[in-house]
Amino acid sequence: MNLAELTWAEVRERRGQATVGLIPVGATEQHGPHLPLGTDFLTAQALAHAAASETGAVCTPVVPVGISAHHQQFWGTLTVSPDAFRAYMRDLARSLAEHGWRRLVFVNGHGGNSAALLEVCRTLRCEDVFAVVWSWWLDPSVQAVLRELFRSRGTHAGAAETSLIAHLHPELVRGERMDAAVEGASEEFGVQRFGAQLPLDTVDFSRSGATLDPREGSAEAGERIFRRAKERLVQLLRWLEEAPEEELARKGHLP
């Protein structure tokens, strides 16, 4: 059930048909010279819509801008502060809860949003709203598919994201710029020293904004990744639909 396509009267009529609400959220940020700025929110939106269609869950419009300050040196990247992002996502979830949807999934397409979204979920649970963050690339079953498909499993703007966009929006993949993406790509996303994650920006370790070799990506691979990710999201929604309230509710003090 896509809220943006319904009238308020239709939502009132159908509100009892859906137990779970989906909030797709991503980013508008650089994804190398070969992928569109909207890669993260386009992916989150497509997965949320597909899962909502299969389960009947209610789905909000996608939130297209997230926490992306670490990409800001690349032209066109948009970002908001973590405080603003947390407040916005918290209020959006509360809006759904006010209409009766108190079991929610943030369908997240951008790693930079993850910590803030988890904080929001913990706050909401104290308000008797059970929300979870689901990021497709962290699912173990999806990771198994990535290991089967690619030698280089670069995360940001690598083979996996290139494949997903090639599957969902092939016209947005700039194939002629793949070599440029690889030339300036990093071996991994981020830099660690002695177990510490350094607070560096993407431009500090990747001149193209990509990781490893996106040339391994393909529309066929993207279809497999998307199918598996959608299956897993549907499984999560089914669990949330059926979970007893006492399992999800915040517990009281120990005796």
Q: Minimal CA–CA distance to 136: which of 51, 198, 197, 193?
A: 51
The Cα–Cα gap between 110 and 87 comes to: 17
Report yes or no on 252 lying in a domain: no
CATH number at residue 20: 3.40.50.10310
Written as one string, the DSSP assignment of the chain is: -BGGGS-HHHHHHHGGG--EEEEEE-----BTTTB-TTHHHHHHHHHHHHHHHHH--EEPPPB-----GGGTTSTT-----HHHHHHHHHHHHHHHHHTT--EEEEEE--GGGHHHHHHHHHHHHTTT-EEEEEEGGG-HHHHHHHHHH-S----TTSHHHHHHHHHH-GGG--GGGHHHHHHT-BSSSS-EETTEEP---GGGT-SSS-BS-GGG--HHHHHHHHHHHHHHHHHHHHHHHHS-HHHHSPP----
Q: Pairing relation of β-strands 196-197 and 192-193?
A: antiparallel
Report yes or no on 217 lying in a domain: yes
What pLDDT was estimated at residue 1? 87
What pLDDT was estimated at residue 73? 97
What pLDDT was estimated at residue 254? 93
- Residues pairing with 211 in the sheet: 186
The Cα–Cα gap between 31 and 198 comes to: 21
Report yes or no on 118 lying in a domain: yes
Report yes or no on 251 lying in a domain: no
Report yes or no on 130 lying in a domain: yes
- Residues pairing with 196 in the sheet: 193
Report yes or no on 230 lying in a domain: yes
The Cα–Cα gap between 36 and 201 comes to: 19
* pTM over 0.85, yes/no: yes
What pLDDT was estimated at residue 187? 85
**Whole-Å CA distances, 241 to 13, 120, 216, 218:** 19, 21, 38, 34
Query: Using one digit for the tens of pLDDT, what is the confidence trace for 102-113?
Result: 999 999 999 999
Number of structural domains in the chain = 1
Structural domain including 47 reads 3-245
Report yes or no on 136 lying in a domain: yes
What pLDDT was estimated at residue 41? 98
Report yes or no on 255 lying in a domain: no
What pLDDT was estimated at residue 153? 73
Which residue ranges in the chain fall short of pLDDT 70?
none
**Averaged confidence pLDDT in the chain:** 96
